[in-house]
Structure 1
Amino acid sequence: MSQPFQTPIEYLKGVGLARAEVLKKELQIFTFDDLLKHFPYKYIDRTRYYKIRDIQPDMPHVQVVARLLSKEIVGEKHTKRLVAKAKDDTGIIELVWFQGIKWVEKTLMPGKAYILFGKPGFFNGSPQMAHPEMDLWGSANQQQRGALTLQPAYSSTKKLEQFTLDSKGLQKLIAGLLDQYAREIQENLPAYLLNRFKLIGRANAYRNIHFPNDAAQLNEATHRLKFEELFFLQLKLLKNKLSNNAKFKGNVFGTVGPYFNDFYHSKLPFPLTGAQKRVLKEIRTDTQRGVQMNRLLQGDVGSGKTVVALMSMLIAIDNGFQTCIMAPTEILANQHFQTISSLVGDGFVEIALLTGSVPAKKRRVIHEKLEDGSLKILVGTHALIEDKVQYQNLGLVVIDEQHRFGVEQRAKLWRKNVVPPHVLVMTATPIPRTLAMTLYGDLDVSVIDELPAGRKPIETLHYYENQRLRMFGFMKQEIAKGRQVYVVYPLINESEKLDLKNLMDGIEIMSREFPLPQFRISVVHGKMAAADKEFEMQRFIKGETQIMVATTVIEVGVNVPNASVMIIENAERFGLSQLHQLRGRVGRGAEQSYCILMTGPKLSNDGRIRINTMVKTNNGFEIAEIDMQLRGPGNIEGTQQSGVLDLKVANLATDQELLVLVRKCAEAILEKDPQLAHPENQLLNQNFQSKNEGLSWDKIS
């Protein structure tokens, strides 16, 4: 944006120091540009006029043409108010003001016709309107707004309203800003893009998003600004990817040797799916190019991501490098360690586990083996990034559920080797394509979209509270077959605010319904000590207990092939993504598995959509798309990276087609002109540089 728009907001006519302070504090509006980008959150149709007799108390707002009959200040001190009456050919409406009484009273002219606009109410059965907006019928004010059939509504706060900066006050400031500086709004897209995509000019877009004459103008303006916002975001991500490729050289994994081949031919317990083979080929290609790999591996729960990660690590080891896999929790790190150890067997490759629970003596041995290069695979939590953990030659880093780590935490792993290691990021949280293109737009994306052979889809059922006995009966049937059951609750202890089944009540109910010695129950929740949690987990894993009552601490990292039933209490209280993760704890063996969603009788609309979605599909990507529609893109499992989704106009949930379009457009431009040096791209380069001043994207992987 041009220079005038960087001006501090206090210098705008009508603002001043006091109003500037409240704008900064309440709305983070510091400059003219910030105010320009404080877009309306809705538009009120001002084309319709109501008769007074047609006014209903539940209407959000009405517009009436009526002649002012009288005005009168009534009451004293704290009860003082201005009361006026206006009449049309169908009835009389009372108008009331509690603030600015003297000023309003001077401006009112009985006998004149006014346009009245505001929220209606009723007092003693008669229509009333408090603090209406008023324009003289046929006045310059009305004519100026006459074409403005869509009235912008701006978000405000109580504090702002004390400074007369309600929606109307903000509208006046923005109108003044545009009147004075609209001609200074500079174009930032080249003519060839404007023509190709039929986009209106930037200055017009800002005028028309604030003050559209009609719906067509508003749509044109919104489309133009969404295009611009998404285009520069994708350009930033793609340029960053090119820059990383140029800046960060990568170790070349030139051979596939005995570790990989022995494992593939002698130890792999099942044939790889076509999707696993495809992803391994993509990783193999990446690691041969001499450029640091940054690849996101998406795969549903149970799709075989860990095997792909292990085989990638074996390629690194074949080429003389060490590897590590970092997980966000001890439970998940333990799970990876046990899975990899059981897959490779004893004596095949040196592997160790490093978490906060590992004793100091064992840690020292791990540190020594890392430094002398004999330890080839290190599995752990954020303990892997501690300064004292030094590798001899780290070649590949696998980061699981990476959205749970901060950018700086991940970057510390980069610094563990002179040549930055290749990075493979894994997630079992399916991410909608559009969100992946934005959150991870500077990574290459691989998807495992097949389940291993022999896996049966999990059958999902919805039971209401009055079907609890039926649910108990089903549990007993499955346990009688030798199977095990998870029962998950949202809370540990009772909450006064939320009427939820809780874990402690659940244990009591389960103990009564499933008594000793015939049945045995494990209990796991986040408030337990790590050793107690592990003890209870192991009892369940070994089959010593048939039922595990738990909170969502078991969402990731628990692999018990014999568990065939997942019961989720108060399922309507969970997000779709979490429900899908929990369901993924079963269905890991060859037997048919089930997920039972228990809910109360009354479901909100969103709750019903979530439950129906779970019953209808096992496809994590389909579920993620619906989740994004319900919750918005910034909330999905905390995946938002700071600054990446700071979108003012565009919405990833509803603007998916546009995002795909602008991504392809940005890719095509950078393919022909990676430095944006061609004359026709000078404008793009200039705006790209100004948008990215002060941002460091080179450490986001």
Structure 2
Amino acid sequence: MLNADLDTTIEFLKGVGPKRAEVLQKELGIYTYADLLGFYPFRYIDRTRFYKVSELDPELPYVQILGRITGKETIGEKHKKRIVARLTDETGTIELVWFQSLKWVEENIMRGKVYIAFGKPTVFNGSFSISHPELEPYPRPATVTGNLTLQPVYNSTEKLKKFSIDSKGIQKLQALVITSCLSEVRETLPAYILEKYKLISRKEALLHIHFPADSKMLQHAQRRLKFEELFFIQLQLLANKQFRELKFKGHRFCLVGNYVHTFYQDILPFELTNAQKRVIKEIRTDTQRGIQMNRLVQGDVGSGKTVVALMSMLLANDNGFQACMMAPTEILARQHYHSIFELVGDQLIRVAILTGTTTKKQRTLLHAQLEAGEIDILIGTHALIEDKVVFKNLGLVVIDEQHRFGVEQRAKLWRKNAVPPHILVMTATPIPRTLAMTIYGDLDVSVIDELPAGRKPIDTRHLYEGQRLRMFGFMKTEIAKGRQVYVVYPLIKESEKLDLLHLEAGIEQMRYQFPLPDYQISIVHGKMPNADKQFEMDRFITGKTQIMVATTVIEVGVNVPNASVMIIENAERFGLSQLHQLRGRVGRGAEQSFCILMSGNKLSKEGRKRLETMVRTNNGFEISEIDLELRGPGDLSGTQQSGVLDLKLADLVKDQQILQEARNTVIDIFQQDPLLTLPENALLKRFTDKKNRGIALDKIS
């Protein structure tokens, strides 16, 4: 077993075997020794602290007590049988109780001997007890291996526990792997990086992450491994960016011609904000470099991203190219089409729309016009990526809300031209700075951080269920002014698990409060056919209905300037980002708009913080940072399917400084050694080459 290879299959580790190996693979994704070494503890138990019996508190998660076994007896029969021992120190006595492994307890736990007992204290019949405590003799034998101060705790599952692979079991396996092949661990970071940031070696880090000698060595191990995680994410992202720039030439948009000038000088009905002008300038600079543009434009709700996208597409048209814009839903695609058509009409350029509901006859004509170059801008949904959709000369692709599309779906658009088109990605979901550096770290990022002049901040209020009549009264007041109201529910039908006021009950309540013919109500939800959804939307957009009762299908893409009130039912059930998106459906006209967050009386700590944040601020970027803090990166839109964020240790909220250090280091490396040909960067070159061949970082170990 000594000096085993890290690529050795886990079943060959002593005490594992084929059956345990299979459950380790299925439950934890552990296939090799290297995988096991990379499965880190999620917390540590401080075994240096001893409690007296008199200090016990049932709120404590665990305690460690030094005492003598002063009594032991077997109680009950058959399945009710248990062993109860009394552990006594100078301040009192606690009961230790076992319901399982009774034969072992009977033979090994001796009266009169001193033990260290460890476990969760509970109160039963007015006395403290610990069920199934960990017991070890005192003083500890010199032969005891493993950590005796900071004990690692590993995530396990019920299936693993059936095979005796609980946290303690995983700890034993880690000890075996470290004993047999720690010497095989190879360094992954160049010496100059270790020296610059005073990082310990990878070998030391893996030893002390599993069995830290003390809290200081644990901190060193965590910092080293966090830096490594974030560094190699940045290296992969920026290497991909550099590879694209070296390999993919891009169309040069050198001409700012009639389309852009006419639109900007004669058609655009409002002044662009300075932020919009800055972003358009950045896009112009990108498209003149002769390499493919890959730029992310993020802006808060209502910041004017659509106009920036339109002017970018007109720039492509001025240079003899077609442009297309892909949206995740038909509602959003139609919204973009109507917005752009209203701005440019059909005299300046030819704009068309292609969605899943486009008829076969319309498609045939559209395909022919597109291939002949008779359509300048095509707007649509996933339908754009179909093989039948052929452009004459596609120069720019705009992707709205990119996180809603898969990687392969996006790539199909890029392949629709011999020279890859420029890529402009837009999102109305403000992205925290640290997340932007990781998820979109290979894109150039532009931020529209300024709202158009005249926009009033949305007045947000939080009301409880007992204030519902007050909410209905407010709705009637606003409708009497000629305004319109959204009412959003989280569910379509009643759920047994979630006690929510569902859409159908809400409609009944709404019809009672707002009877015909004085009030008209539109109903929209995700289960409706697209044609029905569009019909109801159109009724609301044209003012034929005063109230739209909907699910989150209207989260993005609905622009009704006359709608001044957004009511969100069971608001505590929504994430901050979604609440902010929904709020952004109002506040699009000159009048004061309102968002009312309805909730039950009982709120969790997180739920309360979300609602308080919404009431306090309209700043989407501030909201996104709090959302990241509350939910973590894995839960935020798009991060799971991106395949980038697979963090084991690093935390994007707590480790922002380490992330910035890692990114700056990679940027410096590529500035000095673009192709990683210097000898000191051989390890990094090896990593990028393996990534290009689809081999994971763990294989470097």
User: Scaled by the length of structure 2, what TM-score is found?
Assistant: 0.95
d(CA) in 2 for partners of 1:3, 1:304:
59
d(CA) in 1 for partners of 2:59, 2:278:
59
- 2:35 — aligned with what? 34
Asked whether the 8 Å contact 1:489–1:569 carries over to 2, the reply is yes
Residue 678 (structure 1) shift: 0.9
d(CA) in 2 for partners of 1:113, 1:689:
58
- 1:102 — aligned with what? 103
Deviates more, 1:477-486 or 1:232-241: 477-486
Asked whether the 8 Å contact 2:4–2:181 carries over to 1, the reply is no
Q: 1:26-56, CA deviations, whole angstroms, 9 ceiling, x for partnerless residues?
A: 2221111111111111111212212234434
Which amino acid in the other structure matches residue 135 of structure 1?
A: E
- 1:154 — aligned with what? 154
- 1:65 — aligned with what? 66
Deviates more, 1:85-94 or 1:284-293: 85-94
RMSD, matched Cα: 2.1
Q: 1:630-675, CA deviations, whole angstroms, 9 ceiling, x for partnerless residues?
A: 1110111234334311111111232222212211111011110011
- 1:88 — aligned with what? 89
Deviates more, 1:489-498 or 1:191-200: 489-498
User: For the structure 1 residues 569 and 139, does the alpha-carbon distance in structure 2 shift closer, same or farther, using more than 3 Å as the test?
Assistant: closer
- 1:407 — aligned with what? 407
Deviates more, 1:584-593 or 1:114-123: 114-123
SS at match of 1:4: coil
Deviates more, 1:61-70 or 1:275-284: 61-70
Deviates more, 1:634-643 or 1:534-543: 634-643
Residue 552 (structure 1) shift: 1.0
Deviates more, 1:9-18 or 1:221-230: 9-18
d(CA) in 2 for partners of 1:392, 1:541:
35
Deviates more, 1:470-479 or 1:2-11: 2-11
Residue 233 (structure 1) shift: 0.6
d(CA) in 1 for partners of 2:173, 2:180:
11
Asked whether the 8 Å contact 1:232–1:688 carries over to 2, the reply is no
Which amino acid in the other structure matches residue 60 of structure 1?
A: P
d(CA) in 2 for partners of 1:197, 1:150:
25
User: For the structure 1 residues 485 and 123, does the alpha-carbon distance in structure 2 shift closer, same or farther, using more than 3 Å as the test?
Assistant: closer
Asked whether the 8 Å contact 2:47–2:148 carries over to 1, the reply is yes
Residue 144 (structure 1) shift: 5.3
Asked whether the 8 Å contact 2:183–2:203 carries over to 1, the reply is yes
SS at match of 1:641: helix
- 2:699 — aligned with what? none
d(CA) in 1 for partners of 2:614, 2:577:
10
Residue 181 (structure 1) shift: 2.1
SS at match of 1:38: coil
d(CA) in 2 for partners of 1:586, 1:354:
27
Residue 461 (structure 1) shift: 1.3
- 2:447 — aligned with what? 447
d(CA) in 1 for partners of 2:304, 2:420:
26
Residue 391 (structure 1) shift: 0.9
- 1:46 — aligned with what? 47
d(CA) in 2 for partners of 1:449, 1:94:
62
- 1:377 — aligned with what? 377
- 1:478 — aligned with what? 478
Matches within 5 A, 1:285-300: 285-300=285-300
Deviates more, 1:161-170 or 1:561-570: 161-170
d(CA) in 2 for partners of 1:126, 1:618:
53
Asked whether the 8 Å contact 2:24–2:30 carries over to 1, the reply is yes
Asked whether the 8 Å contact 2:404–2:638 carries over to 1, the reply is yes
Matches within 5 A, 1:460-609: 460-609=460-609
d(CA) in 2 for partners of 1:130, 1:523:
55
d(CA) in 2 for partners of 1:168, 1:381:
51
User: For the structure 1 residues 509 and 96, does the alpha-carbon distance in structure 2 shift closer, same or farther, using more than 3 Å as the test?
Assistant: closer
Residue 86 (structure 1) shift: 3.5
Percent same amino acid at aligned positions?
A: 66
- 1:132 — aligned with what? 133
Matches within 5 A, 1:672-691: 672-690=672-690
- 1:628 — aligned with what? 628
d(CA) in 2 for partners of 1:310, 1:29:
49
Asked whether the 8 Å contact 2:239–2:688 carries over to 1, the reply is no
Residue 417 (structure 1) shift: 0.8
SS at match of 2:204: helix
Residue 693 (structure 1) shift: 3.7
| Structure 1: 5+ residue stretches without partners | 697-701
Residue 467 (structure 1) shift: 2.0
d(CA) in 2 for partners of 1:647, 1:508:
46
Residue 335 (structure 1) shift: 0.5
Residue 79 (structure 1) shift: 4.8
Matches within 5 A, 1:398-437: 398-437=398-437
User: For the structure 1 residues 83 and 480, does the alpha-carbon distance in structure 2 shift closer, same or farther, using more than 3 Å as the test?
Assistant: closer
Residue 246 (structure 1) shift: 0.8
- 1:242 — aligned with what? 242
Q: 1:154-202, CA deviations, whole angstroms, 9 ceiling, x for partnerless residues?
A: 1112222222221111111112221222222222112211121111121
The count of residues paired between Structure 1 and Structure 2 equals 695
Deviates more, 1:678-687 or 1:302-311: 678-687
Residue 499 (structure 1) shift: 1.7
- 1:226 — aligned with what? 226
- 1:267 — aligned with what? 267
d(CA) in 2 for partners of 1:577, 1:616:
15
- 2:18 — aligned with what? 17
User: Scaled by the length of structure 1, what TM-score is found?
Assistant: 0.95
User: For the structure 1 residues 512 and 198, does the alpha-carbon distance in structure 2 shift closer, same or farther, using more than 3 Å as the test?
Assistant: same
Which amino acid in the other structure matches residue 339 of structure 1?
A: S
Q: 1:398-451, CA deviations, whole angstroms, 9 ceiling, x for partnerless residues?
A: 111111110111111111111111111111011111111111111111111111
SS at match of 1:6: coil
Residue 72 (structure 1) shift: 5.6
d(CA) in 2 for partners of 1:121, 1:263:
73
d(CA) in 2 for partners of 1:142, 1:48:
22
SS at match of 1:152: strand
d(CA) in 1 for partners of 2:604, 2:65:
37
d(CA) in 2 for partners of 1:418, 1:177:
51
User: For the structure 1 residues 639 and 160, does the alpha-carbon distance in structure 2 shift closer, same or farther, using more than 3 Å as the test?
Assistant: closer
User: For the structure 1 residues 565 and 142, does the alpha-carbon distance in structure 2 shift closer, same or farther, using more than 3 Å as the test?
Assistant: farther
- 2:321 — aligned with what? 321
Which amino acid in the other structure matches residue 210 of structure 2?
A: H
Residue 284 (structure 1) shift: 0.7
SS at match of 2:624: helix
Deviates more, 1:205-214 or 1:55-64: 55-64
2:321 is equivalent to residue 341 of structure 1? no
Asked whether the 8 Å contact 2:231–2:663 carries over to 1, the reply is yes
Asked whether the 8 Å contact 2:439–2:642 carries over to 1, the reply is no
Residue 123 (structure 1) shift: 4.7
User: For the structure 1 residues 149 and 257, does the alpha-carbon distance in structure 2 shift closer, same or farther, using more than 3 Å as the test?
Assistant: same
